[in-house]
Structure formats: C-alpha cells, structure tokens
Amino acid sequence: QTVFLNLESYSRKLFDVSEVTISGESLDGKIQSSSNGNPRLIFDLYNATEMTVQTQMLSLQSDSQSKSWVTQDVIAEHSSLDVDTNFELTSSGSPVILYNHDGLKIRTYSGYTGVESEIITTAGDIEHISSVTGLSGESYIAYYSPGTNKLYFSELTETGWSEQTVTIDANISSPFSLMVNNSGNPVIIYLDDVNKELNVATFELSWSVTNITTSGLVNSPSFSSLIDFNDNIVISAMIDDGISNNLSEITINGSIIESTFIAIESDVATNLSLVTDDDNGLILSCLTSSGSLIVYEKANNSEIWNSILLPQPQQVGIANTIQAIGGDVPIIAVNSELDTIYAKISGNWQVIGDSIGSEMEDFTIMSADNQIFVLSREIETNSIIWSSMEFTQGKNVDEIWHKSKIKDILADDGFDTSIGNGKISFFSKSSSNNFISNIEFFIDSDNDHIFDSIDELNNTPNQWSDQDGDGYGDNIHAPISDDCPTQSGTSSILILGCFDADGDGYDDLTDDCNTGFGHSWLGRYGCTDFDQDGWVDWNSLYPFGDIFSSNWKQAFDSDGDSYGDNHGPDCCDTWYDDDAPPGDEFPFDSKQYTDYDGDGYGDNSSDFIGGDACKYDYGTSFIDRLGCQDSDGDGASDPSNLWNESMGADLWPNDSTQWIDSDGDGYGDNSSDGATNPDYFPNNMAAVNDSDGDGYPDNFTQFYDGSNAQGLQIDGCPLVAGNSTNPFYGCLDSDGDNYRDIYTFDINPTTGLRENQTGDAFPFDPNQWFDTDGDGFGDFQGGESADICPNAPGVINGTLGIGCPIIDGNDDDGDFVINEIDLCPETQFGLIVDLNGCATNQLDSDSDGVTDDIDLCPDTDALDLAYEDGCSQVQREVDTDTDGVYDYLDLCPNTPNDEIPDLDGCSLSQKDSDNDGITDDIDVCPNTPENYPVLADGCTDETAKEIDWDDDGYFGDEDEFMFD
C-alpha cells in the first residue's frame, strides 16, 4: 500500500535583519510601520563635503520572493541646517510627512493601483507600440511587425482585445503616432521608410491609408502630430526640398493638404514634439543631436511661428529624446541631467525639475492635477521606472521625483502610455514574450490597492466596502470601521455608524442623554456642556458635573473653598465669565488657594500645616518653618532678626549637611554619610562617635559625668559593627546570643578545666556559649546538645549522656580517673576531681588540717595554727580591699574604693543577682529569669521570643518555659 502524505509548513519570522547604506551623516532618523509590518524610515542626511542637507525616505518593499530597500527623496539637497522632519503611516502604509523648511509643510502621497493583462498578437515580432485613450475612455493600441510589414490596430472590447490589420505593406523603422479625431475614430500617422513619405491611416467602417504629398522627401525619422480643435491633422516634420532641410507644419483638412515653413533645420537627427496649449495655439519643441533645445510657438489663427529662447538643458544623453504635453500648463521634458523639465506658467517658460536618472534615454510623459508622470526605460535592464513629481511654480527643493520600479515588466521592444478617463494605460513588449503587456493604472487615493472607481471609501486606507452607505467601512481592522455595518447611522464619536437619535455624535447606547443634544465626554457622554470644556454640566439630577458650567477653564472645587481646581497664568477669565476668581493653586487644601512667591506654600500663614511663614519671599525651607529662605538647601531656614537659632533656624546656614544640634554638644544631628561633624547620638551629649555604626559609642565626650550615659556602653570593638553585650559591648556576635564571637579562656593547672571564659565557644549556635571541659559540648543545659557532664571531657555517646566520658570497670569510684592513677579511689560520685582523681574534700593544699572544700584560707602558712575554717589569726585580720570585710569572709576581694559593699564584701558592680550577665549597678531589670537573653540594660530581649529555644514547637508568649 502506498500512502501519500501532504505536508504543509507554516513559519513566522520574529526578526529579519537587513542592511542598507545611506549616503551621508544622519542628523535624525525616525521609523514607522504599516499594518502589514513593512517599515519606512526617514532621515535628514548631512553631506559634509557639500555642506548640504537632504531628507530621504527608506521603504522596505517585499513580495513573495524577496525584500528590498528603496530610497526616495523627500526634500532635495539644500544648504539650510534648520530642518526637522516627522511622519506617520496610514494603515495601508502611505506616509504623511510633516517637515520644517522655509515654513511648516505637510506632504501626503496618492497612488495608482495597476491591473495587468496580456494582449495576444498575431505577430510575435512587435515593434513601435503607440496607444491612445478614446473620447469615452476606450483603449486603443497600434503596433508594427517588421517581419511581415504589417501594421496592426487593437481595441479593448467587452470580450477582450480585438486585433485588426491596418495595412500589409507598411515599411516602418521609426515611431509612429496613434490618435483619435473629434468623432472618436482612430487615426495613425506613420513614415514609410522606403518612400520617405508620411501616410495617414483612418478608420470609418474599415481602414484606409492615404499618402501625404509634400514638396520633398521626409528624410528625418522624427515627426510629431496631433488633431486640433477643428479636427485637422497637424504634423511637424523636416522636409528636404532638394535645397535645404525645412522644419515644416503640415495641415490636413480632409483632402486639403497644406505645408508651412517654420525654420531651416540642417540636423536631421533632431527630435520633435508638437502639442497645443489651452488657447489651441501650437507649440513645437525641437532637441538637436548636439543637445540644443529650440521651441517654436504659433498662436491660434496666426500664421507666424515665433522662436522662443529657453534655458538650455545640460548634459543631454546620447539619445536626444524629447517629449511634450499641452494644455493649460504645457510641459517639455528632455533626457538631460540638469534643466530637464520645463513648464509654461503664466505665459513664461521656466525650469521646474531635473533628471530622474540615466534611465531617461527612452520615456513618455503625462500630467494631471499638478502632477507630472514619467515612465522610462532603464537602459541596462530594460525595466520600467515610474516617476512622479508635484509641481506648482518654479524649481524648488520641495518638488522632487518620487520613483518606483515596475517589477517583472521588460520593454526592450518598445512601450507607450496614454492617459484619460481617470487612468493611465501602459503597453510594453519584450523580446522574451510573444504578447504585449498591458497595465491599467487607476488612481488609488488612499493607497490600499483598491482603486477609487471601485472603492466605496476611496479616502480611507484599507476600507473599500460600506454596505449600509453611512460613510463608515465594513473592515473592522481598518480606520473608521462601522460598529453597525448593516444599519445606517450617523454616530461619529467612540462608536461609529450607529443610530444617533439626537444627532450629537454619540450612539444611543453610549449616549447618557440620548434625548437631548450634547457634547460632553467627561463624566457622562452626550449631555449638555455649556462651556464646552468636555465636562457634563452640574444639575440636581447629576450632582457630579461641572459646577462652573459657564467657565471652560474650571470644572470642580475639590476642597470646597469656592475656588476652582484649575490654575495657571491664563486662568481664569473667559469671554463669557470675564470676572472669574483666580484658580486654586492648592486644589486639595481648603485652607489655601494662592501662593504669591510661587514656592509651593500657601499665603495663609495661620495654617500651620501648609502656610508660608515668609509668603512674600520665595523659600524652600520646611523643617523649622515653611517657605523661607534656605541658602544651603537643607530644609532649615536661615536665621534672621525675627527667627533665630533658638527658635529652630539653621545653626549652620551655609552647610547643607547640618542644621540642628539637639543635645548641644557642638555636633550636628545629621549622621548620614558625608555630613559635617555628625553626631551618632544626637540626643545624648555624653556620646558622639560611632565608627562602626552599631549603636555603641567609641568613647564618651567631655560632657560625660558618670551618670548621663543613658544606658550607653562603650564599644569594645569600635571598628567592627556588632551587637554583643558579653564580655564587651558592640563586638561581632554572629549567632545573636549576646556573647562576642572571639573566645578566650585559661586552663586550671590542677583540674585541666577551662576557667575565666570570655566570648562564645560556639559563635554560630545561639543556644551555647561556654565549654568548661573543652569537649565541644556546651555548658548551657537549656541549649541543644547540652553537656551532661560539663566538668568532665566526654563524647556524644558518653555513659551518662552527651559530653560525658565512657565509664568502664576500671574506675571504681566513677570519677573518670582510672584506678591505676587515682590517688583518691573513694571519691564521692559526682564531685569534680583533679588530674589525680581527688576532689577538694579530699585535699588539703596548705596542710593546715582543713580540707580544701571548706578552707577559707587555702594558703595558710605551715607554721601557723588554723581555726576550723582553715584560717590563721593573721589571715583573719587581713582586709586587702579595705572594704571592712576581712579577706577570709570577703566574697569579692577587689571591691573598688568608691563603692559600698554588702556583708559579703561585694558591691553592686561585683554582683549579678539574676545571673543575666549584667552587673547589678547597671541592671535596670534585676530579676530577669536565669539564662534568659537580655539587652545591654539587663532587661528582656523581646526579639529572643521569636526563637524556639527548647525545640518544643512553641515560642513567644505562648511558651511560658522557653528553655524547658
């Protein structure tokens, strides 16, 4: 079995990169895109060499096969640098260009849409095509077959092109002319190259050919002909009478042939073009092979030909081609580089344009509605170039050629054009084809490729159908689309083409007042708006409308102070309300409405919230008073006779970083980076500096008296920001348990345990900080992995628990010292022992007969008699710190001289009654629960409640036993 698979592939390019070179430096560039995605760019280009500016438009033209950039001139080169250009595209891609050059100007583009067809001919070797549009818009074409010497005529009928043979023995080697007479019948004038005679072919019921008898031979291949208003055939040609070559006028009126001498022309290669003006006068244009342009004119009913002097074209091409068109503004075109297009405006000939390019070796020219159209053949490719230019009067930079190539059409065997009946007809023949290509160009004003004659909305891009005839299009994807396409309506605002009973532009469904005419569009649609400011008028039925209905500059009074919200230099008088109150410069503040000095603060000084303290002087102050002079711009006003520093004026009026000193220590309250003499403790004169910014001062100032620190503590680590409180304030405390990260200790030489521990042995564990036995397990029993045996180094799986040693049968008393080295084998279980296995109740270090555990004087001399407490009489009388408590009874032997001890010899700075790490002299909360996290003042650290210390799933106020 054979299976055929039809695979279709669809793709979409998100981005397509292309490059195009522009000639010059771009002063400005703008880009727009049409609805089909094709972009256009406009550049103002500067030519540094010529010091000129030219505006060009780049268009991306695309078809199913390729894409290409096309350059069009918008403004010709000029020397003024004062140029600015902007543009938009209609939905069909037609540009609307606004530019400034000798005034603000706008440029729009109309287009032609072509309909292409093929004309099948009997002969395949077609040359010398000539065409004409009939009096009623008929399309006629004549062409010659050199292989058969036949001259053909073809007419477009309802069934297609109908070909006729005009003559079978024509000998044509130069262009001929097809015209229609005043009866609408076709007439052909051609030169018999063998007999050197002109022939007239006319058609009544059939074709007939008549020889034109002249006084000599027509040796020049160029002639030009027309049919005048009297239906005479007029021909200009050069006749050789045997003596001279005479430029002549030949007039044929029925059977009467008259020849009139115009001038002697020795150059037989001169090309001629004959037209009539709007007064039926004759104009004959002659271009010699050397490039000289000569114009002869003969007024209606005159017999005299006058030679007219024109500016001479410059750099004429190899083929001296000339074409002219008549009418109210006769135009002459030659194939030169400069001074190419001439027009007779108000009776005077003047140059209106230069060459469209080297392709003008062969061209046709037409005009309509101040537009010149030139279709020319590009020599190298035989392609057809369409060029158009608007003309008014004279030659200027605004009137330049707009060019486009007609793709896939070649004309190496000739082409011709004709204009009439609202269209331009183009015919061409390529040697590669055996048919004539015909393109009918119809005016397409909106450039949407639907030409005007079938476009029901010919001035609206991408709209062409209007089934209900209300002026709005049926295409919903194009401008002014009809929201009611099958119902004719007049609504023209928001909703288009629907029923509008009151005729105000709003359709009845949108119109909030559809029984009354109105143009409001703010607040409500289609209601009365007396002052035409857009807002619906206020009335009792609609209290949200314009309360200033007779003043278009006002609508509302938001703060209810009777002054309208709008304000400004042109507010608020109008032609109807010429005595209006001023606008409210503070529309949301009922206490203010004017600002005399324009500093943003209202003139009502009794308003302490927004009132200007200096209402006649512009000022920006806002800290101490509003709207006064602030020289350094820090917000505090400058001091004055009426307002000094004691009232809040700027202490440093020329320093924008400082303005106030709340504690009077000479340092400004502003402690931000870059501030002058910043005070990090602006409300405490005892402290100023805080290098690391952690809230602990580096030192106290000269104003410190020992009691005015207000709870501040000196920073133990002034260059490192931290929040520790033990053993120093302001050091790094990574885990937030108040103990600094740096950990120090001493080793007891007797027990081998750590003593004098400071800092955090566990800097990243907020639940542990000391480790007395150094086994890696913390002493705090409420924390994680607490050491069950904090005075005996152990392991995680110790016999009695975490941090305890492993006990085996070689330690009879269980003091973790093996029997072989245990000097005190009967130690009471649980007591701390030294390295020899002895507890203090088993030792007598000074050999005074009192064991160390109860010996208050462990250093009694061996010769002295000791009492039961281990002290000799001498020791009982020693008071080292002179606090009134003998050393053997003094629990705090180093009491400061200026502090009062208790009965145990301890002052407040030596005691910590609640064991929170804060000595009693500075402990504001002396009854803090044991081991509870506290702040520097000894009070509870409430943030610690956010931690579940005991891992029971509760924290904060819900956990009454945070560590259990």
Does 889 score more than 90 pLDDT?
A: no
Asked if residue 869 lies in contact with residue 851, where contact means CB atoms within 8 angstroms, the answer is no
Distance (Å, rounded) from C-alpha 468 to C-alpha 466?
6
How confident is the model at residue 443, as a pLDDT? 92
Q: Is 591 left (phi over 0), alpha (psi -120 to 50) or beta?
A: alpha
283 closest CA partner among 337, 354, 228: 228
b/e map of 276-312 (b: 16 or more CB within 10 Å)?
A: bbeeebbbbbbbbeebebbbbbbeeeeeebeeeebee
711 closest CA partner among 865, 909, 935: 935
How confident is the model at residue 719, as a pLDDT? 94
DSSP code per residue over 289-319: TT--EEEEEE-TT----EEE--PPPEEE-SS
- DSSP assignment letter at 371: E
- Which stretch, 126-135, 429-438, 796-805, has highest mean pLDDT? 126-135
Distance (Å, rounded) from C-alpha 789 to C-alpha 797?
12
436 closest CA partner among 97, 131, 731, 24: 131
Does 959 score more than 80 pLDDT?
A: no
Does 547 score more than 90 pLDDT?
A: yes
Does 9 score more than 50 pLDDT?
A: no
Residues in CB range of 117: below 8 A, 6 or more apart: 437, 438, 439, 440
Question: Pairing relation of β-strands 104-108 and 423-429?
Answer: unpaired
Number of C-alpha atoms within 13 angstroms, CB side, residue 623?
19
Residue 939 in tokens: 């009070």
Token pair 């400005």: residue? 28
* 630-689 confidence digits (pLDDT tens): 999 999 999 999 999 999 999 999 999 999 999 999 999 999 999 999 999 999 999 999
In the chain, the amino acid numbered 124 is G
Three-class HEC string of 852-892: CCCCCCCCCCCCCCCCCCCCCHHHHCCCCCCCCCCCCCCCC
Could you count the other beta carbons within 10 Å of the beta carbon of residue 112? 19
Distance (Å, rounded) from C-alpha 242 to C-alpha 231?
31
Asked if residue 820 lies in contact with residue 828, where contact means CB atoms within 8 angstroms, the answer is no
CA 414 centroid distance within chain: 52
* 401-452 confidence digits (pLDDT tens): 888 888 888 888 889 999 988 899 999 998 888 899 999 999 999 989 999 9
How confident is the model at residue 1, as a pLDDT? 36
* 908-930 confidence digits (pLDDT tens): 888 888 888 788 888 888 888 77
Residue 653 in tokens: 């009026």
Asked if residue 271 lies in contact with residue 236, where contact means CB atoms within 8 angstroms, the answer is no
pTM here is 0.60
Span 590-617, average pLDDT: 93
Residue 309 in tokens: 């002097």
Confidence of residue 14 (pLDDT cuts 50, 70, 90): low
How confident is the model at residue 7, as a pLDDT? 45
Span 812-834, average pLDDT: 83
CA 758 centroid distance within chain: 61
Residue 950 in tokens: 């005991």
Task: Collapse the DSSP code of 180 into the 3-class scheme (helix H, G, I; strand E, B; otherwise coil) and give the result.
Answer: strand
481 closest CA partner among 40, 35, 88: 35
How confident is the model at residue 358, as a pLDDT? 56
Does 393 score more than 70 pLDDT?
A: no
Distance (Å, rounded) from C-alpha 732 to C-alpha 740?
5
Span 703-708, average pLDDT: 88
Distance (Å, rounded) from C-alpha 480 to C-alpha 495?
9
Confidence of residue 4 (pLDDT cuts 50, 70, 90): very low
946 closest CA partner among 938, 934, 958: 958
In the chain, the amino acid numbered 930 is E
Does 461 score more than 60 pLDDT?
A: yes
Task: Name the CA dihedral angle for 317, 320, 321, 323, rounded to a multiple of 10 degrees.
Answer: 120
Name the residue ranges covered by the structural domains of the chain: 25-109, 554-594, 603-660, 914-964
How confident is the model at residue 72, as a pLDDT? 84
Residue 365 in tokens: 């020219």
Does 950 score more than 70 pLDDT?
A: no
Residue 129 in tokens: 């095509």
Mean pLDDT taken over the chain: 88
Q: Which residue has the higher pLDDT, 512 or 43?
A: 512
CA 397 centroid distance within chain: 33
Distance (Å, rounded) from C-alpha 817 to C-alpha 791?
13
Please give the angle made by the CA atoms of 70, 325 and 389, to the nearest 5 degrees.
25
CA 810 centroid distance within chain: 86
How many percent of the chain have pLDDT more than 90?
A: 53
Distance (Å, rounded) from C-alpha 418 to C-alpha 427?
9
Does 941 score more than 70 pLDDT?
A: yes
Least confident of 11-20, 487-496, 552-561: 11-20
Span 722-746, average pLDDT: 94
Rounded to 5 degrees, φ, ψ at 956 are 75, -155
744 closest CA partner among 719, 723, 731, 761: 761
623 closest CA partner among 613, 825, 615: 613
How confident is the model at residue 862, as a pLDDT? 79
Distance (Å, rounded) from C-alpha 573 to C-alpha 957?
67
How confident is the model at residue 961, as a pLDDT? 72
Asked if residue 543 lies in contact with residue 529, where contact means CB atoms within 8 angstroms, the answer is no
Distance (Å, rounded) from C-alpha 472 to C-alpha 71?
35
How confident is the model at residue 3, as a pLDDT? 40
* 215-263 confidence digits (pLDDT tens): 788 989 999 999 999 999 999 999 998 899 999 999 999 889 999 999 9
Confidence of residue 361 (pLDDT cuts 50, 70, 90): low
* 63-93 confidence digits (pLDDT tens): 656 777 888 888 877 777 777 889 898 888 8
Cis peptide before 727 (omega within 30 of 0): yes
Could you count the other beta carbons within 10 Å of the beta carbon of residue 868? 10
Cis peptide before 572 (omega within 30 of 0): yes
Distance (Å, rounded) from C-alpha 636 to C-alpha 645?
10
Residue 12 in tokens: 């979409």
Task: Collapse the DSSP code of 645 into the 3-class scheme (helix H, G, I; strand E, B; otherwise coil) and give the result.
Answer: helix
Number of C-alpha atoms within 13 angstroms, CB side, residue 363?
34
b/e map of 252-274 (b: 16 or more CB within 10 Å)?
A: beeeebebeebeebebeebbbbb
* 260-302 confidence digits (pLDDT tens): 999 999 899 999 999 999 999 999 999 998 889 999 999 998 9
Span 341-361, average pLDDT: 80
CA of 144: how far to CAs of 121, 128, 150, 157, 846, in Å? 11, 6, 6, 21, 148
Token pair 């009026």: residue? 653
DSSP code per residue over 782-802: TSTT--SSTTS--BTT-SSST
Distance (Å, rounded) from C-alpha 414 to C-alpha 80?
43
* 826-848 confidence digits (pLDDT tens): 888 888 888 788 988 888 888 88
